[in-house]
């Protein structure tokens, strides 16, 4: 939330008048100008320079710094309270953010071709709850024949238990006839851990029991209890480049599935970016006629909203 002119004026007014009692006018003006920006680093730099040039005014400069810090803390608390209140009062369709992507792919494995890919990812973050919706489609027809048809839809809610621990749920639908199944349903629930929460790097891990039902192209179907383990890693290498890694493993008795998607996202300007991703999917016991490993390289234009 950007500070308004009124807020900046209040911030400057919060500095006790006695703190400026003996500071030279140019130094006072320089400090007031830094305070008006609301930039903590800039204020700290200006006050440190003032200490070096006016060592006899150290006490007054300390008072200015303390008053500014107190005002910033009060302002941050007010903004946090206002944001929380806005979230609590928001409706079901409010506060969603996400990204849409459209581009091309190159696959090898059960099919070898180039086609179109489209995806949508939505996320809503509340006080304790977070909802995430993912949809992805890869499709191609050549000479009137479908040579690639892969769809995925997933909904994942999770609730915060503490600053790092959370509980999650997952409902997922997949379709890929070239991997040998017309439908695959997965349901899971368990616990997650936010292992890394840095400004430029995040890592979340989760695991829990799962149930999967697979309907194959030959008309047969299976239902199995499985285990799910997954990770979500994001690393911002610079202001414009981000590395992502999403991996999961459904482990079950007859056919386990391991999936890894590595991506590089480059900002293009505004709300647009370009993404290159490489997905490897391994089924330990695929249907007859299907190979174990599929790979998919996607190049997409991404729009953030």
- pLDDT score of 78: 79
Report the C-alpha gap between 227 and 190 in whole angstroms: 10
> Which has the closest alpha carbon to 50: 39, 60, 40, 41?
60
Question: In the structure encoding, which two tokens stand for residue 303, read together?
Answer: 């729009």
Output 30 or 193, whichever has higher pLDDT: 193
Q: Considering the entire predicted model, what is its pTM?
A: 0.73
Work out the angle between the directed axes of helices 40-53 and 58-89 (0-180°, nearest 10). Answer: 170
- pLDDT score of 92: 67
- pLDDT of residue 3 exceeding 60, the answer is no
- pLDDT of residue 19 exceeding 70, the answer is no
- pLDDT score of 88: 72
- pLDDT of residue 134 exceeding 80, the answer is yes
Contact 180, 286 (CB under 8 A): yes
DSSP 3-state assignment of 220?
coil
Which residues 6+ apart lie within 8 Å of 120 measured at CB? 98, 99, 100, 101, 133, 134, 135, 136
- pLDDT of residue 43 exceeding 70, the answer is yes
In b/e form, how buried is each residue of 71-109, taking b as 16+ CB within 10 angstroms? bbeebeeeeeeeeeeeeeeeeeeeeeeebbbebebebeb
- pLDDT of residue 4 exceeding 60, the answer is no
- pLDDT score of 6: 42
Which DSSP state fits 57? Answer: G
Per-residue model confidence as pLDDT tens digits over 230-280? 999 999 999 999 999 999 999 999 899 999 999 999 999 999 999 999 999
Report the percentage of the chain scoring pLDDT > 70: 92
- pLDDT score of 287: 83
Output 79 or 241, whichever has higher pLDDT: 241
Over range 15-41, report the average pLDDT: 76
Over range 210-214, report the average pLDDT: 96
CA-atom Rg of the chain in angstroms: 27
- pLDDT score of 86: 74
Q: What is the dihedral of CA 78, 84, 89, 92, to 10 degrees?
A: 150
Which DSSP state fits 95? Answer: S
Q: Cβ of 43: how many Cβ atoms within 10 Å?
A: 22
- pLDDT of residue 29 exceeding 90, the answer is no
Question: pLDDT class for 169, splitting at 50, 70, 90?
Answer: very high
Report the C-alpha gap between 64 and 14 in whole angstroms: 9
Task: Report the sign of the C-alpha dihedral through residues 112, 113, 114, 117, in that order.
Answer: negative
pLDDT averaged over every residue in the chain: 87
Phi, psi for residue 7 in degrees, rounded to 5? -60, -40
Per-residue model confidence as pLDDT tens digits over 143-161? 677 777 899 999 999 999 9
Phi, psi for residue 264 in degrees, rounded to 5? -125, 125
Q: Is 210 exposed, middle or buried (0-12, 13-18, 19+ CB in 10 A)?
A: buried
Contact 166, 191 (CB under 8 A): yes
Hey, what domains does the chain have and what are their CATH numbers? 5-89 (no CATH), 96-304 (2.40.160.40)
Over range 24-44, report the average pLDDT: 89
> Which has the closest alpha carbon to 94: 65, 117, 125?
125
- pLDDT of residue 13 exceeding 50, the answer is no
- pLDDT score of 207: 98
> Which has the closest alpha carbon to 42: 11, 13, 21?
11
Which has the minimum average pLDDT: 73-77, 95-99, 248-252, 271-275? 73-77
- pLDDT score of 111: 66
Which has the minimum average pLDDT: 24-28, 210-214, 219-223? 24-28
């Amino acid at each position: 939330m950007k500070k308004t002119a009124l807020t900046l004026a209040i911030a400057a007014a919060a500095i006790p008048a006695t703190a400026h009692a003996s500071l030279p006018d140019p130094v006072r003006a320089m400090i007031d100008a830094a305070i008006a920006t609301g930039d903590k680093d800039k204020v700290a730099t200006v006050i440190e320079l003032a200490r070096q040039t006016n060592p006899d005014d150290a006490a007054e400069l300390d008072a200015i710094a303390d008053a500014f810090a107190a005002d910033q803390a009060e302002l941050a608390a007010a903004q946090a309270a206002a944001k929380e209140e806005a979230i609590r009062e928001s409706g079901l369709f409010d506060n969603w953010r996400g990204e849409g992507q459209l581009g091309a792919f190159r696959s090898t494995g059960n099919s070898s071709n180039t086609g179109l890919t489209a995806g949508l990812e939505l996320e809503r973050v509340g006080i304790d709850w977070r909802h995430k919706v993912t949809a992805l489609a890869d499709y191609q027809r050549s000479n009137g024949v479908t040579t690639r048809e892969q769809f995925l839809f997933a909904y994942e809610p999770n609730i915060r238990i503490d600053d790092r621990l959370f509980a999650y749920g997952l409902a997922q639908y997949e379709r890929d006839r070239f991997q040998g199944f017309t439908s695959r349903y997965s349901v899971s629930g368990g616990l997650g851990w936010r292992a890394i929460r840095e400004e430029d790097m995040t890592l979340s891990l989760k695991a829990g029991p799962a149930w999967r039902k697979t309907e194959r192209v030959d008309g047969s179907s299976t239902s199995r209890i499985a285990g799910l383990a997954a990770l979500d890693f994001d690393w911002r290498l610079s202001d414009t480049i981000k590395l992502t890694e999403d991996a999961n493993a459904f482990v079950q008795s007859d056919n386990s599935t391991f999936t890894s998607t590595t991506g590089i996202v480059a900002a293009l300007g505004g709300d647009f970016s370009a993404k290159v991703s490489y997905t490897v999917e391994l089924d330990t016991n695929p249907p007859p006629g299907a190979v174990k490993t599929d790979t998919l390289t996607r190049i997409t234009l991404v729009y953030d909203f």
